[in-house]
């Protein structure tokens, strides 16, 4: 009679698989495409963070199936990349072998959780049948001028011997190994994501992402509208271009600061200042850009000895060099307005540069800090008394007519470095011909398979290990037949993951990336959940690729994901990040073994608000297990024929709550609602009958699929609980008898009290006017109007 998870979980997993109840097939029903971030099959196996996101989307998928949707909930493996390559280098085990082993382990683990994936659609980015299409996408980008080669100063990790994208450099260190990154020039494949910058911002209006995720997307793109102004250098026939978002402050410019790498530095320094400037530049080179541009960092600089002229009034302005100015943004020079920019303010305080007020606002206090808001112009000649916004326009127009300014838009987003000098990635399908230059491989020759090699270490020259395989590199040009060399760079990890959702629509198609009918039926993804660590780059890159494919006429819409949410991280019991070296890792296998998959699932959904980071608690796990045991014995021991009115009302209220909570990803409150109900049922066994318990099982089925299936069959049901209809609630039964009436006077909250649901305006008015608090406010004033919102509030206008 007691709940033994081991007996039932394997049994039902097998049955579901045999009956293929989670298989997705195109039909006339409305579809629902639920997506999780497909995992990287590392040697360490699944960690407890994976099931948090996977279970959440599993719950949604199961609920949608019960609601009658045709659900696609697929799974696959994002398996190219450095961890496996490094493992191969260390152990001599081939990356394919390691991947195969890791995938098998992950698969066993995921299956033990009872997730309702359609395993027939499993994909693997390292499978040539998959990466054929990753390479094909590259050829489309190349054909449409969105891929090009360029000599680029790249972030180079001397330890991994690899070029890194900016995003892979954290605190100026390699994201993977922690080594200090250096700059190195290398010819790289680039993708022109900057062409899509505006659309990637604008189209955020079309999708339903968490606000904070939209914000991240916008900030990474960093669109900034402003004015470019030239300042002529004194005694030199040159101009310095600065980019500013605040042309209204131009009368307040008291210095110009150039980035240490600015091209005019050498021509500008005077003999007297020469040594000082050179020393300064040498010192700042040692600091990373991150270190130099941090907002709270000390602002340092050195005077060049030269001056320029302010184009608005020909005033002489000293030119400085300072490393808080970024070389690669906005021309690498700024006009310093200490009174109205905080960084400039600190810089000016440090070096005794004049702080000149030109914008005045009510709360400006220049003795303490810069006044950075807009306001009225002062000390600004003909432009005095204008508002900032108007002044921006007028000053820009004035300077434009003089030919010394123009409006521009700058972006922080850079083109995407798409080459890696590594073995374990997709080969880039082009050859370099002596006669014809870069020639793409004909599409029929795809996939271009990774050749077999003995050693995976990158070469010391920084080329990929593929460069060492002479008979692979040497090839014929597909265009002229002459001698040519294969490209030896491979693609970054992002290449396989920026379009994987598309392949799920038609994973076995060997003619097309996916058929039109399949894409039209399944795309876009209806709900995508994953970690916040992927809501900047992976999201941006995959949106870009999808838009490009849309422009090429390949996919049916311009945005791949309708909705995107994110879960919080699971921390160790000690509040730190789980990590092998700290010895605080929880292995999901252990929890499944000891307490069962249902306990793990319900616990991870119950542990706290879904979007927040939360600490693991073994006591919490035990508590959830006790809850499931109670559900078990409630159903097993039940002998009540008819449920009481109270029990009925409670289960209908619970139905409404669980239904809404799942939609809002408030899984924890959905579960606590079920717990409250189970407590009630336990204390009132005579009042809770089979009909009510059936409903409870249906509500719990998406959370705890095994135990509910077992108990469902105990109640002599034939068909799987997961193929039942999602329960509905009767609004009449959940109507509250009382509500709190809010009373306002002239819109201000003055009193509140409980009254009967459904009372009329007249009845309510009578009660309200008897309240002391209200009487004392109204006294002899006249009530002009009464606004009554039934079952909510009454506002008296006096």
- List the alpha helices (DSSP H) in 311-461: 342-351, 388-401
Would you state the structure tokens that stand for residue 411, as one six-digit string?
Answer: 């972006």
Q: Is there a contact between 439 and 479 (Cβ–Cβ < 8 Å)?
A: yes
Q: Quote the least distance from Cβ 72 to Zn ion, whole Å.
A: 44
Q: Applying CB under 6 A, does 308 fall inside the site for ligand ANZ?
A: no
| Per-residue contact string for residues 246-265; x = within reach of ligand ANZ by CB under 6 A | x--x----------------
Which residues here bind Zn ion, judged by CB under 5 A? 433, 435-436, 477, 479-480, 482
Can you list the positions of beta strands (E) in 631-710?
A: none
Strand order in the sheet with 224-232: 239-244, 224-232, 405-410
Residue given tokens 């309708």 in the structure block: 562
- Residue 142 to residues 145, 192, 450, 728, 776, Cα–Cα distance (Å): 5, 10, 20, 53, 78
Q: Applying CB under 6 A, does 341 fall inside the site for ligand ANZ?
A: yes
Q: Applying CB under 6 A, does 521 fall inside the site for ligand ANZ?
A: no
In this chain, which of 326, 733, 734, 778 binds ligand ANZ, going by CB under 6 A? Answer: 326
| Per-residue contact string for residues 393-432; x = within reach of ligand ANZ by CB under 6 A | -----------------x----------------------
Q: Quote the least distance from Cβ 437 to Zn ion, whole Å.
A: 8
Distance of alpha carbon 365 from the chain centroid: 39
Q: Applying CB under 6 A, does 337 fall inside the site for ligand ANZ?
A: yes
When the beta carbons of 355 and 484 are compared against ligand ANZ, the nearer one is 355
Using CB under 6 A, which of the segments 98-106, 336-344, 510-518, 556-564 binds ligand ANZ?
A: 336-344
Would you state the structure tokens that stand for residue 261, as one six-digit string?
Answer: 């790498």
Q: Is there a contact between 610 and 567 (Cβ–Cβ < 8 Å)?
A: yes
Q: Applying CB under 6 A, does 300 fall inside the site for ligand ANZ?
A: no
What share of residues in the chain are helix, strand, coil (percent, to 5)? Answer: 40, 20, 40
Using CB under 6 A, which of the segments 15-23, 100-108, 330-338, 398-406 binds ligand ANZ?
A: 330-338
DSSP states of 451-508 as a string?
Answer: PP-S--PPPTTS--GGGG-HHHHEEE-TTT-SEEEE---B--THHHHSSHHHHHTSTT
Q: Quote the least distance from Cβ 149 to Zn ion, whole Å.
A: 16
Among positions 185-244, residues that touch ligand ANZ (CB under 6 A) are 224, 243-244
Identify what 325 binds: Zn ion, ligand ANZ, none; CB under 5 to 8 Å per kind.
Answer: ligand ANZ
Q: Which long-range contacts link 464-470 to residues 24+ away (Cβ below 8 Å)? A: 464/420, 464/421, 464/422, 464/423, 464/488, 464/489, 464/490, 465/422, 465/423, 466/423, 466/427, 466/490
When the beta carbons of 338 and 458 are compared against ligand ANZ, the nearer one is 338
Q: Quote the least distance from Cβ 478 to Zn ion, whole Å.
A: 8
When the beta carbons of 345 and 472 are compared against ligand ANZ, the nearer one is 345
Identify what 335 binds: Zn ion, ligand ANZ, none; CB under 5 to 8 Å per kind.
Answer: ligand ANZ
What is the C-alpha to C-alpha distance for residues 798 and 795, in angstroms, rounded to an integer?
10
Q: Applying CB under 6 A, does 342 fall inside the site for ligand ANZ?
A: no
Q: For every residue of 155-174, which 3-state class applies, written as one string?
A: EEECCCCEEECHHHEECCEE
What is the C-alpha to C-alpha distance for residues 474 and 650, in angstroms, rounded to an integer?
75
What is the C-alpha to C-alpha distance for residues 258 and 239, in angstroms, rounded to an integer?
12
Identify what 245 binds: ligand ANZ, Zn ion, none; CB under 5 to 8 Å per kind.
Answer: ligand ANZ
Using CB under 6 A, which of the segments 265-273, 334-342, 562-570, 763-771 binds ligand ANZ?
A: 334-342
Q: Applying CB under 6 A, does 35 fall inside the site for ligand ANZ?
A: no
Would you state the structure tokens that stand for residue 180, as one six-digit string?
Answer: 């200090």
Q: Quote the least distance from Cβ 326 to ligand ANZ, whole Å.
A: 4
Using CB under 6 A, which of the segments 73-81, 324-332, 421-429, 626-634 binds ligand ANZ?
A: 324-332
Q: Quote the least distance from Cβ 190 to Zn ion, whole Å.
A: 23
Burial class (CB in 10 A: 0-12, 13-18, 19+), 128: middle
In this chain, which of 56, 174, 256, 335 binds ligand ANZ, going by CB under 6 A? Answer: 335
When the beta carbons of 243 and 788 are compared against ligand ANZ, the nearer one is 243
**How many CA atoms within 13 Å lie on the side-chain side of 160?**
28
When the beta carbons of 329 and 550 are compared against ligand ANZ, the nearer one is 329
Closest CA to 635 of 703, 714, 699, 702: 714
When the beta carbons of 326 and 572 are compared against ligand ANZ, the nearer one is 326
Q: Is there a contact between 429 and 140 (Cβ–Cβ < 8 Å)?
A: no
In this chain, which of 340, 420, 625, 652 binds ligand ANZ, going by CB under 6 A? Answer: 340
When the beta carbons of 246 and 722 are compared against ligand ANZ, the nearer one is 246
537-551 vs 128-143: helix crossing angle, rounded to 10 = 70
Using CB under 6 A, which of the segments 45-53, 270-278, 322-330, 679-687 binds ligand ANZ?
A: 322-330
Binding site for ligand ANZ (CB under 6 A): 224, 243-246, 249, 325-326, 329-330, 332, 334-335, 337, 340-341, 410
């Amino acid at each position: 009679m007691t709940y033994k998870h081991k007996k039932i979980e394997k049994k039902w997993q097998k049955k579901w698989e045999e009956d293929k109840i989670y298989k997705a097939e195109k039909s006339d029903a409305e579809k629902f495409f639920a997506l999780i971030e497909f995992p990287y099959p590392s040697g360490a196996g699944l960690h407890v963070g994976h099931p948090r996101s996977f279970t959440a989307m599993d719950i949604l998928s199961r609920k949608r199936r019960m609601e009658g949707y045709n659900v696609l909930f697929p799974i696959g493996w994002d398996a190219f990349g450095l961890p496996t390559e490094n493992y191969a280098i260390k152990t001599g085990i081939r990356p394919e072998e390691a991947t195969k082993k890791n995938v098998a382990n992950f698969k066993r683990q995921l299956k033990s959780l009872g997730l309702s994936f359609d395993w027939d659609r499993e994909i693997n980015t390292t499978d040539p049948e998959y990466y054929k299409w990753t390479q094909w996408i590259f050829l489309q980008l190349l054909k449409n001028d969105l891929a090009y080669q360029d000599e680029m100063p790249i972030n180079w990790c001397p330890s991994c011997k690899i070029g890194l994208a900016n995003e892979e450099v954290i605190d100026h260190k390699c994201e993977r190994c922690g080594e200090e990154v250096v700059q190195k020039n290398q010819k790289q494949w680039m993708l022109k994501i900057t062409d899509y910058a505006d659309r990637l911002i604008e189209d955020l209006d079309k999708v339903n992402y968490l606000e904070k995720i939209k914000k991240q997307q916008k900030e990474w793109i960093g669109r900034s509208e402003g004015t470019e102004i030239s300042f002529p250098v004194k005694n030199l026939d040159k101009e310095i271009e600065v980019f500013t978002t605040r042309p209204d402050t131009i009368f307040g410019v008291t210095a110009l600061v150039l980035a240490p790498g600015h091209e005019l530095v050498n021509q500008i320094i005077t003999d007297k200042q020469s040594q000082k400037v050179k020393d300064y530049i040498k010192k700042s080179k040692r600091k990373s850009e991150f270190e130099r541009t941090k907002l709270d960092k000390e602002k340092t600089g050195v005077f060049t000895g030269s001056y320029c002229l302010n184009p608005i009034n020909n005033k002489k302005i000293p030119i400085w060099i300072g490393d808080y100015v970024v070389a690669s943004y906005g021309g690498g020079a700024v006009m310093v307005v200490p009174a109205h920019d905080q960084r400039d303010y600190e810089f000016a305080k440090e070096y005794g540069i004049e702080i000149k007020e030109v914008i005045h606002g009510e709360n400006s206090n220049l003795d303490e800090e810069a006044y950075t808001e807009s306001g009225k112009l002062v000390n600004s000649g003909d432009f005095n008394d204008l508002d900032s916004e108007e002044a921006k326009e007028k000053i820009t127009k004035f300077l434009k007519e003089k030919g010394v300014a123009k409006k521009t838009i700058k972006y922080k987003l850079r083109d995407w470095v798409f080459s890696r000098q590594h073995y374990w990635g997709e080969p880039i399908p082009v050859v370099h011909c002596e006669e014809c230059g870069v020639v793409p491989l004909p599409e029929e020759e795809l996939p271009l398979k990774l050749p077999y090699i003995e050693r995976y270490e990158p070469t010391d020259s920084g080329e990929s290990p593929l460069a060492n395989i002479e008979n692979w590199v040497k090839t014929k040009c597909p265009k002229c037949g002459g001698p040519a060399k294969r490209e030896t760079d491979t693609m970054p990890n992002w290449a396989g993951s920026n379009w994987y959702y598309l392949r799920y629509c038609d994973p076995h198609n060997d003619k097309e990336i996916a058929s039109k009918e399949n894409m039209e039926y399944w795309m876009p993804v209806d709900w995508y959940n994953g970690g916040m660590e992927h809501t900047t780059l992976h999201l941006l890159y995959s949106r870009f690729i999808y838009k490009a494919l849309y422009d090429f006429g390949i996919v049916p819409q311009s945005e791949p994901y309708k909705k995107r949410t994110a879960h919080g991280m699971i921390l160790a019991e000690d509040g730190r990040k789980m990590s092998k070296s700290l010895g605080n890792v929880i292995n999901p296998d252990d929890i499944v073994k000891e307490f069962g998959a249902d306990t793990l699932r319900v616990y991870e959904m119950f542990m706290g608000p879904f979007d927040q980071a939360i600490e693991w608690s073994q006591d919490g796990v035990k508590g959830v297990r006790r809850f499931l045991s109670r559900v078990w014995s409630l159903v097993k021991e039940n002998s009540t024929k008819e449920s009481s009115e109270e029990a009925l009302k409670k289960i209908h209220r619970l139905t409404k709550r669980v239904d809404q909570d799942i939609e809002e990803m408030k899984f924890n409150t959905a579960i606590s609602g079920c717990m409250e109900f189970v407590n009630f049922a336990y204390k009132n066994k005579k009042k809770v009958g089979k009909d009510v318990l059936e409903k409870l099982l249906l509500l719990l089925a998406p959370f705890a699929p095994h135990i509910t299936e077992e108990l469902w069959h105990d109640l002599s049901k034939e068909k799987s609980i997961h193929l039942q209809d999602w329960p509905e609630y009767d609004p009449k039964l959940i109507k509250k008898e009382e509500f709190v009436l809010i009373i306002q006077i002239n819109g201000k909250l003055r009193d509140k009290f409980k009254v009967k649901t459904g009372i009329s305006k007249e009845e309510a008015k009578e009660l309200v006017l008897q309240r002391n608090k209200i009487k004392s406010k109204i006294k002899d004033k006249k009530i002009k109007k009464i606004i009554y919102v039934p079952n909510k509030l009454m506002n008296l206008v006096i």
